Structure formats: structure tokens, C-alpha cells
Amino acid sequence: MGFADKYVWALGASTLQDDETHHATEPLFAAAVADTVGIGIGALLSRVKFADGSISKVFESGTQNLPHLIRTWSALVAQKGEERKWVKIRAEWDVAAASALYARVAQRSLAHWLDGKCKACCGTGVTAERRICQTCKGNRAEEITGQGFEANLVKDMISELDGLLQAHNARAAARLRREPAGSIL
């Protein structure tokens, strides 16, 4: 089992006893520790992406973790946008335009990262007639549409999300290797 699988399993485990047969608390503990080293968003990403049920329903129904994730991610994107000067602030109007851009980039990147499958073919790349899907040209992912500048920012932020989750999983997995079963209590 990879770390993400162990983590999801632990979240869903009915018992949190940690003995020879139940190592459920171990990945949770490792994830919590990994997050204190990182920026705190890794465990949340993992929870929402892998454990909150059908992702396509997540944005409509909302889950406990999603609003928290949207807030955390939006703040992070706004911070990056300012640092990287996505918008040159010359007038008061630019401040409003910049916040609107940060919010759109944050929402679109998170939505795509959580569920970026091509809707026309449900991410299979082929149609029911076994032809290559014309919408995604067979590459299975939903196209990131819109103006070039903004679309590129959305793509950058999707890579950031991938990076954050990978870094989180690597830290948590390293912690699990250092602390063999039973020794973390």
C-alpha cells in the first residue's frame, strides 16, 4: 500500500486501536507530523482528493474539509500571485482586478486538480463507439480553457498542488519508515 492508500484506509477505519492487527492510527499520526513540517495543506489535500467520496459531487454538496481547503488554497494562491507580481498594481482598480484573478485561479486550479477528467468521455479517452474522444483528443483530461495568461497560471497552480501532495506523502512515508509499527506510542 502506498502512503495515500494507507491514509485513506486509516481515515475510514472503524477502530483507531493501534495494535498488531490495527495500525490505523499510524498513518494518521505520520500525516499530522508531516503537516507540521509543511504548510499544513498536505493532509487536507489528501483527505479531500482521496477520502471524501465522489469528487464530482464534492463541489456541489460540500464536505467538512472542502471549505477549509478552498480558504487555505485561495490564501496561498493570493500570496503567490503577489510575490510573483501576476498583476502590476498601478491604481486602486488594479487591486480589485488582482484579487478577482487570484480567486479565479485558485478555484479553477483546485477544481481541475480534484476532478480534471474530460467530461465528454468520463476520462476514458474514447467514445462509446470506441473512437478517440474529439473533445480531449484522447488525452483524457479536460482542457484548461480561457485567455493564455490566466490559463497558464491555472496550469502552474495545478502543478503546485501536485507538488504539495507529493511532498506531503514523501514526508509522511519517510516518517512511517523511521517509526516501525508499534514504536510510535
Q: Does 34 bind Zn ion (CB under 5 A)?
A: no
Q: Does 132 bind Zn ion (CB under 5 A)?
A: no
Q: Does 58 bind Zn ion (CB under 5 A)?
A: no
Q: Does 135 bind Zn ion (CB under 5 A)?
A: yes
DSSP per position, the chain: --HHHHHHHHHH-S---BSSS-BTHHHHHHHHHHHHHS-S-HHHHHHHHHHSS-HHHHHHH--SHHHHHHHHHHHHHHHHHHHTTSS---SHHHHHHHHHHHHHHHHHHHHHHHS-B-TTTTTSSB-TTSPBPTTTTTS-BPP--S-HHHHHHHHHHHHHHHHHHHHHHHHHHHHHHHS-TT---
Residue closer to Zn ion by CB (options 33, 111) is 111
| Least distance (Å) between residue 77 CB and Zn ion | 27
| Least distance (Å) between residue 145 CB and Zn ion | 14
| Least distance (Å) between residue 43 CB and Zn ion | 32
Please pick, from the candidates 10, 118, 165, 172, the single residue that binds Zn ion as defined by CB under 5 A: 118
Residue closer to Zn ion by CB (options 131, 178) is 131
Q: Which residues bind Zn ion (CB under 5 A)?
A: 118, 120-121, 133, 135-136
